[in-house]
Chain A
Amino acid sequence: MSDTTAGLLQTAVLIAALAVCYRPLGTYMARVYTSTRHLRAERGMYRLMGVDPDADQRWPVYARSLLAFSAVSVLGLYALQRLQPHLPLSLGFPGVAPPQAWNTAASFVTNTNWQSYSGESTMGHVTQMAGLAVQNFASAAVGMAVAIAVVRGLVRSRTDRLGNFWVDLVRGTLRILLPLSVAATILLVALGVVQNFSSGTAVRTLAGHAQMITGGPVASQEAIKELGTNGGGFYNANSAHPFENPTAVSNLLEIFLLLLIPVALTRTFGLMVKDRRQGYAILAAMWVLWAMILGGVWAMETFHPGTAYQLAGASLEGKETRFGVPASSLFATSTTGTSTGAVNSFHSSFTALGGGLLIFNMGLGEVAPGGVGSGLYGILVLATITVFVAGLMVGRTPEYLGKKVTAREIKLVSLYILTMPVVVLALAGVAITLRTARASILNPGPHGLSEVLYAFMSGTNNNGSAFAGLNANTDFYNSALGVAMLAGRFLPILFVLALAGSLARQQPVPATLGTLPTHRPLFVGMLVGVIIIVAGLTFFPALALGPMAEGL
């Protein structure tokens, strides 16, 4: 079987598996977030948490609860890293230095999982599982909560209530992420991923060298790392490490896990707005973008332009033998399209244009299909812009799902869309002008600019993958990327919750002959066009100077 046929079959199996889970999981998640019944365990938790689960919150209260929880999480995770030497199973590692601990705390709370540290030489087992992995669950549940609140804003009318943040957080964690993680962990261990509390086994290799076989609760963390589109690896090599991703089967499982919830949430959306076709339309736009990027990356890696690869005969630097080019391209496209940031191959060593496409994929705003929750609310914002643009063309007040898009909505949507590029380009610009920041660059020429651009694109979009040649463990990058991650996560969340509050207050307008149907291929095409044009116009100059200058 040829490489291409095998790769296509693998992609087909992935899509089929997602299609099979789409209905049941999407329906289940809709029930989780719309049910009025609390489980007994949840009631106990609400008592411990000191919250009233039946309170319906206005958007500012919802936002304040979310921000309070996230602030406490940043502080808690920071403290845990600093106190590491006093914790059990710290493997003898010292406390994480303040700039790096701050960066890592911001990174995991924002669902970014940018790692300026190397797991096996920095983090003890307790810091990993009771610190970092907790945020893998919590930040994913927060993303889903915001997406559901936005959908409620579209569904509800003449109210200022969006639901209860604490209930959404607990249900997302307990009823969705936890059971799926348990299943995924068991599958991963069955495929060879390690799960122990060993501080390592020192061996003498066949050739007589000393080698330390590392241990740790890897599978339990790996499961939620993919499922929650987090991406922070237990080890520095992330999902390229054989202990995190031992076989081609575990590889496909991990890609499946990171796409699962973002994809199924479009059905949840369709069910909640009582028109499943709306969910299909959103999903179609996501798939078109994903397939285009995948095709591009795969083609570039297969034809492997670039002097070193022309000499060697394949694009295999930074890629594992067991995965090869197709499975690496599939992983890279899916991880940059979902704000996951896990990697099974190192993006800095992709061909110039293949790597450039990965940067562009993040620049789309993480909507192909995006992170858990953030992908859905991200693309709903872009859908709002799309109906607005369509409305301008025909001179009508635009509406989306029966809600009028007025000046207030457009202001919030614009603020949402502008935040990410402003943060990315401003901070990348600052970094390029600072000598100390330039000193972190590994590769000469345009690729160096790509490294810096990739870092801020990844941080601000809460992706977390890297052109990892860049030495990011410096005071500048630890601080600046920390700010980028927090701004890139919480400003858009505030704008989109305000938007939801504003939509919820409206009385729906009945659809007329002049209403643009938002479930037809025409709309899907327009949505894809708007997404590409917005990102393309914003990032073309930077991409031209980096990856395009290197690759053309």
Chain B
Amino acid sequence: MTTRIPAAVRQSGAALRTFLVLTVIVGIAYPLAMTAIAQAAFRGNAGGSLVQGHGGATVGSVLIGQSFTDTNGQPLPQYFQSRPSAAGNGYDPLASGASNLSPTNPKLIEEVRQRRASDAQLNGAPTGLVPPDALLASGSGLDPHISPAYAALQVDRVARSRHLAPARVRAVVADHTQGRVLGFLGEPRVNVLELNLALDHLVR
């Protein structure tokens, strides 16, 4: 006796089996194989580009920005400051993201004003010198970089706070300023964590 299976049932069966076969191949085998290759060939990158401090403890990732503030959120003058961040309470990798404020939103306009004033005061510089990246939050809230202009603005303050000659701090900044990749890709930038680590090293 032959039983005829209705077309709809046959197709659903094929659909379910296809779903399972694809899940095994591209959902399990593919990421496992890629992880094995990545861990073997690029262990540091695949692990998150972690970086150690002077005590040998891991202090973060060179790709992920940090807040250089005290527990009250006040900027620590001896450290170069990162951009404003909308990720959680600032630089929280468990809540990456942007403010999504529009350029006409009064809230953003007010934030720009306040940041300009506080940044100028912190660095003892005229308000006109504060660059845009110091005033506007990044897309990820984890931006590890600042512009060379923002780094330059902070040199004197950091030097004073560390009792170093500004020229010495400026040299460290120059060492950590990266140009455009291949001369034309992306933007010139300074990695804040690497810069601050280098300064700590200088003191010791």
Is A151 an interface position by the 8 A CB rule? no
Residues on the B chain within 8 Å of A307, using CB: 103-104, 109
Is B1 an interface position by the 8 A CB rule? no
Task: Give, as a whole number of angstroms, the nearest-CB distance from B24 to chain A.
Answer: 9
Is A166 an interface position by the 8 A CB rule? yes
Task: Give, as a whole number of angstroms, the nearest-CB distance from B168 to chain A.
Answer: 19
Contact B27 A241, beta carbon cutoff 8 Å: no
Residues on the A chain within 8 Å of B197, using CB: 206
Q: How far apart sit A181 and B31, CA to CA, in the bound complex (Å)?
A: 10
Contact B183 A51, beta carbon cutoff 8 Å: no
Task: Give, as a whole number of angstroms, the nearest-CB distance from B32 to chain A.
Answer: 8
Contact B60 A69, beta carbon cutoff 8 Å: no
B64, B67, B103, B131: the one contacting A313 at CB < 8 Å is B131
Residues on the B chain within 8 Å of A318, using CB: 98-100, 136-139
Is B186 an interface position by the 8 A CB rule? yes
Contact B181 A247, beta carbon cutoff 8 Å: yes
Is B93 an interface position by the 8 A CB rule? yes
Contact A194 B47, beta carbon cutoff 8 Å: yes
B8, B27, B35, B49: the one contacting A197 at CB < 8 Å is B35
Residues on the B chain within 8 Å of A198, using CB: 47-48
* Given contact pairs A68-B15, A72-B19, A204 touches B61 in the complex (Cβ within 8 A): no
Is B96 an interface position by the 8 A CB rule? yes
Contact digits for B52-86, partner A, Cβ 8 Å, 1 yes 0 no: 01000111110111111111000010010001000
Task: Give, as a whole number of angstroms, the nearest-CB distance from B84 to chain A.
Answer: 9
Q: How far apart sit A112 and B75, CA to CA, in the bound complex (Å)?
A: 41
Is A357 an interface position by the 8 A CB rule? no
A181, A220, A348: the one contacting B100 at CB < 8 Å is A348
B14, B66, B97: the one contacting A207 at CB < 8 Å is B66
Contact B103 A65, beta carbon cutoff 8 Å: no
Contact A220 B35, beta carbon cutoff 8 Å: yes
* Given contact pairs A120-B95, A211-B91, A313-B132, A320 touches B21 in the complex (Cβ within 8 A): no
Contact digits for B121-151, partner A, Cβ 8 Å, 1 yes 0 no: 0000000000111011111111111110000
Contact A189 B93, beta carbon cutoff 8 Å: no
B residues contacting the other copy or chain, number (CB 8 A): 104
Q: Considering the complex, which residues of chain B in the window 1-44 have a beta carbon less than 8 Å from any beta carbon of chain A? A: 7-8, 10-19, 21-23, 25-28, 30-31, 33-35, 37-39, 41-42
Contact A206 B63, beta carbon cutoff 8 Å: no
A residues contacting the other copy or chain, number (CB 8 A): 121
* Given contact pairs A205-B59, A319-B138, A323-B187, A249 touches B34 in the complex (Cβ within 8 A): no
Task: Give, as a whole number of angstroms, the nearest-CB distance from B7 to chain A.
Answer: 7
Contact B67 A205, beta carbon cutoff 8 Å: yes
Is A400 an interface position by the 8 A CB rule? no
Task: Give, as a whole number of angstroms, the nearest-CB distance from A194 to chain B.
Answer: 5
Task: Give, as a whole number of angstroms, the nearest-CB distance from B90 to chain A.
Answer: 9
Residues on the B chain within 8 Å of A251, using CB: 185-186
Task: Give, as a whole number of angstroms, the nearest-CB distance from B34 to chain A.
Answer: 4
Contact B28 A130, beta carbon cutoff 8 Å: yes
Which residues of A does B touch, CB under 8 Å? Answer: 1, 5-6, 9-10, 13, 45, 48-51, 61, 64-65, 68-69, 71-73, 76, 118, 120-121, 129-131, 133-134, 137-138, 166, 169-170, 173-174, 177-178, 181-182, 185-186, 189-198, 201, 203-209, 211-215, 217, 219-221, 224, 235-237, 240-243, 246-249, 251-252, 304-309, 311-324, 327, 343-346, 348-349, 351-352, 355, 442-445, 447, 467-469, 550
A-B contact pairs, 13 of them (CB 8 A): A71-B15, A186-B41, A190-B42, A205-B59, A206-B53, A206-B68, A206-B193, A209-B69, A240-B139, A323-B187, A443-B101, A445-B104, A467-B100
